[in-house]
Structure 1
Amino acid sequence: MTEAYIIDACRTPRGVGKYGKGALTHIHPQRLGSTVLRAIAD
C-alpha cells in the first residue's frame, strides 16, 4: 500500500489550557480536530 500525506495549513482557535478558565473548555478536543480536518478538506 502506498503512503499518503496531507500537506496543507489552516488557522485554529487558541485558548488557555486550564480546565474551567479557557474560552474553549466547553469544546471537546475531537471537535476541534474535526474542524481542522474539514477546513483542510474544503
Structure 2
Amino acid sequence: MDFSALFSTVFISCFILSLTAYSIYLGFGPGAEDLRDPFEEHED
C-alpha cells in the first residue's frame, strides 16, 4: 500500500470520527437544553 493512500485513509477516517463525536456532543452535551424540538411545538 502506498504511503499517500494510507495517509488519506487515516485522515478521512479521523475526520469522519471527529465530526461524528462533535455532532453527538452538540446534540447531547451541556447546550442541549437550549435546542428546540419543532415536532413537539406543532403537536396540536
Say yes or no: TM over 0.5. Answer: no
| Greater relative contact order (CA < 8 Å, ≥ 6 in sequence) | 1
- TM-score calculated relative to the size of structure 2: 0.33
Higher helix share: 2
| Structure with larger Rg | 2
